[in-house]
Structure 1
Amino acid sequence: MTKEAVKQRLKQRLVLDGAMGTELEKLGVKTNDELWSANALIDNPEAIYQVHASYFKAGADIAITDTYQANVAAFAKNGIKHDEAIELIKSGVKIAKQARDDYDSNGLIAGCIGPYGAYLANGAEYTGNYELSFHDYQNFHQEKIKALIDAGSDLLSIDTIPNFQEVKALVKIINDLPNKLPYWISLSVKDVTKLGDGTDLKVVIKWLSQQDNIDGIGVNCTKIENITPIVNLIRDISNLPIVVYPNPGDIYHPKTKTWTTVPHVDTFQQEVPNWLSQGANIIGGCCRTTPEDIAQIAKILKN
């Protein structure tokens, strides 16, 4: 599919997939360390394929690759050399593409780039509590972005970004590439008015709306009840496609890399019609969501 065709599809109603780590845990993959779901790239690629396949069968139009936590620096800390790390990142795209080819020839593959905070593995992807220079962000992100493009991603999903300076750096890194792909930026928020690092969401969204070549603004890995006010905020400022993929509201513990289940106030069945009516058009789930949740979303979007 051409880049322009992908850009046009991102303006339509599309079903995004759900949690990768949650489903890998069910298949026996170790996820409670610094590599999290990226462990499966090393020793259980078949499990990744099974997860992607389950989401395509549930009705997903877009698969996000299992590369959120996969980066050269994280792999290096685990004794994996540079070239092997790049190949592992590329393999995340190849596995997703195989599942797409087997179950939904029209599906899109979104190469996933997580924040620097995820590499820190201390919960900083929710707080944005770090400061790097543009050069440092470039050193951290650029090779991975190039690897995801070279492996054949249809677009890039910039996930869970909690730090405004990192948002700016990522936009520049991608826009400076000679062979850039369509992409969205999905934010990690402190609440319905602030980015994870405390920056006013209005400021972030307005800045993103003024940049060239961005194909969507989103929010992910926040509880379901936060989505409607954030969608309203984005739509008040921007005409770009809106991407939302919340978690159900469970509590994450950064030290143990585990979750505590809490009673869920809202459900996808209740809220997806509201998000659609307010202007969101790409909807899926983040941590702790399942293929059953995605099937529920698909039923609403496609009917």
Structure 2
Amino acid sequence: MLNSNPIEAILQDHEIMILDGALATELEIRGCNLDDPLWSARVLLENPELIYQVHLDYFHAGADCAITASYQATVDAFLKRGIDENDALELIKKTVYLARRARDNFWREEGAQKKRPKPLVAASVGPYGAFLADGSEYVGNYGVTDETLEIFHRARMHALIEAGADLIAFETIPSLQEAKVISRLVTEFPHTYAWLTFTVKNEKEISDGSLLAECVNVLEENKQIVAIGMNCLPVSITTEAITNIASYTKKPIIVYPNSGETYDPKTNKWHGLKSADRFDVKSEEWFKAGARIIGGCCRTTPHHITELSKRWRPSVELSDS
């Protein structure tokens, strides 16, 4: 039997649940070199306390949920780095421990005295394409079997759940095939809740060309997947994407767009201009379209989350990070 849905508990008392913003690009701002197949998981090896500090800063900014540094932390990737399987699994668990410690310290020191929900820890599970480290998470046509995807995801999921994450965040999923595999895999962990967010090529299609509406329908009957949506999409198409799926799901819709810049996987660089639209202003539009869980993805910062918090939680006095 499932325990109580942690997202539902927050949305019963608040209009929206506020996510954190970017982790990896925030680590880069703070001096980390992430030009590495491990991406943000490299910092687990070199400076894990900085990950803790970023989580803490987002809680101070008003986030109701931290997304862990496990997006690209996989057994296969660590094995390639010469780290054995047991140590790899412990590093994956460490991503949850860091976020939980930040959450618990924040809550003990000041959070519990404020009119806000106790934050959650969502364990990030990135797509198979992220492990390939060639931009495949923005295309989605991997050319691998369902079994390959199951084996790839299962061990990490088990480790993250065992470490005590409140739920799993399957994010940046570009493939309908992978979404179907994930939906089946979640049922192997019957006490676990999850959300799943897709990458999109436009407001109607995910990255592999499948219709967003079809993708939502595939997940709708899975009671363990408690929110569906999109992440790392441009602000410019976010409202239309929400509107496009709102009539196909009764689950809370989750969106966390990027800054508006474009990522080039060949150079590992972001190009173009950041969106001129403020997140707090756009979030009202997203809420009216049907979104109930809102945060930021790549190149967003604690400042963006502060903007959201001031708009949606005006009675909460935010502390300096």
Q: TM-score range by the shorter chain?
A: over 0.9
Distance 1:38 1:60, change over 3 A: same
Q: Which residue of 1 aligns with 2:76?
A: 73
Gap runs ≥5 in structure 1 = none
What SS does structure 2 have at the residue aligned with 1:48? helix
1:156-211 deviation line (CA, Å, top 9, x unaligned): 10000000000000010111224x41111101111101010001111111222133
1:167 to 167, 170, 179: 179
* Conserved? CA contact 1:224–1:267, under 8 Å: no
Q: How much has 1:10 moved relative to structure 2?
A: 5.4
In the alignment, the residues of structure 1 paired with residue 223 and residue 272 of structure 2 have an alpha-carbon distance, to the nearest angstrom, of 40
1:18 to 6, 21, 26: 21
Residue type of the alignment partner of 2:163: A
1:238-292 deviation line (CA, Å, top 9, x unaligned): 1101111000111112123221241424331331001112221111000000000
In the alignment, the residues of structure 1 paired with residue 70 and residue 224 of structure 2 have an alpha-carbon distance, to the nearest angstrom, of 23
Residues 1:157 and 2:189 are matched in the alignment: no
In the alignment, the residues of structure 1 paired with residue 177 and residue 42 of structure 2 have an alpha-carbon distance, to the nearest angstrom, of 29
Residues 1:87 and 2:90 are matched in the alignment: yes
Distance 1:228 1:254, change over 3 A: same
What SS does structure 2 have at the residue aligned with 1:132? coil
Give the aligned CA root-mean-square deviation in angstroms: 1.5
Q: Which residue of 2 aligns with 1:6?
A: 6
What SS does structure 1 have at the residue aligned with 2:257? strand
Identical positions, percent:
42
Residues 143-222 of structure 1 correspond to what in structure 2 (within 5 A)? 143-178=155-190, 180-222=191-233
What SS does structure 1 have at the residue aligned with 2:40? helix
Residues 97-176 of structure 1 correspond to what in structure 2 (within 5 A)? 97-104=100-107, 106-176=118-188
Residues 185-264 of structure 1 correspond to what in structure 2 (within 5 A)? 185-264=196-275
In the alignment, the residues of structure 1 paired with residue 252 and residue 178 of structure 2 have an alpha-carbon distance, to the nearest angstrom, of 21
In the alignment, the residues of structure 1 paired with residue 250 and residue 61 of structure 2 have an alpha-carbon distance, to the nearest angstrom, of 29
In the alignment, the residues of structure 2 paired with residue 238 and residue 59 of structure 1 have an alpha-carbon distance, to the nearest angstrom, of 27
Distance 1:157 1:10, change over 3 A: farther
In the alignment, the residues of structure 1 paired with residue 280 and residue 147 of structure 2 have an alpha-carbon distance, to the nearest angstrom, of 44
In the alignment, the residues of structure 2 paired with residue 129 and residue 138 of structure 1 have an alpha-carbon distance, to the nearest angstrom, of 16
In the alignment, the residues of structure 1 paired with residue 217 and residue 46 of structure 2 have an alpha-carbon distance, to the nearest angstrom, of 42
* Conserved? CA contact 2:263–2:271, under 8 Å: yes
* Conserved? CA contact 2:78–2:88, under 8 Å: yes
Gap runs ≥5 in structure 2 = 109-117, 315-321
Between Structure 1 and Structure 2, how many residues are aligned?
301
What SS does structure 1 have at the residue aligned with 2:291? coil
TM-score scaled to structure 2, two decimals?
A: 0.90
* Conserved? CA contact 1:3–1:154, under 8 Å: no
1:93-148 deviation line (CA, Å, top 9, x unaligned): 00000100111361100011000011111111111121222211111000000000
Q: How much has 1:212 moved relative to structure 2?
A: 3.2
TM-score scaled to structure 1, two decimals?
A: 0.95
